Amino acid sequence: MEATLWPRGVDGVLSHETALAPYEPSDVNPDKIDITVPNRHRIRREIPDGYRIHHEDLAAGDIASHDGIAIVAPAVAIRQCHAAHLGPALLAQAIDHGERNGRLIKRHADELRREIQVSPSGGVRR
């Protein structure tokens, strides 16, 4: 919660690898807390070592709540991690676990697999 309030002026949203942890979809273990703020928001103070700030304009449907904390939806987190070059095995694992635990519906899981080019077993599609 503290991380989402840190940006001052806007509420941050837990995102990227950090957003995968509460959904329990993979073995991702981020070394920093990922916080996304709107593109227009400029941070004018030193960013604490434990935070990694991202700028992205999220749609209302991209943001969920977990225990009262703003967090990106699972599919958004997986796409963000892909864009940040997280390995395909971890992305496939996140999709598989998300589908199994009901965080991703089959149609969304299949779309993500096609988009990221991974198979349900974690292999990379060519």
Q: No. of H helices and E strands in the chain?
A: 5, 5
Quote the pLDDT of residue 71: 95
Residue of 71 and 122 predicted with greater confidence: 71
Q: Are 98 and 90 in contact (CB under 8 A)?
A: no
pTM of the model: 0.88
Cα angle for residues 80, 43, 77 (degrees, 5° grid) = 15
Residue with tokens 């991209």: 62
Instruction: Indicate the domain borders of the chain.
Output: 2-86
pLDDT tens-digit map of 15-74: 999 998 877 656 788 899 999 999 999 888 899 999 999 999 999 999 999 888 999 999
Quote the pLDDT of residue 9: 65
Quote the pLDDT of residue 74: 94
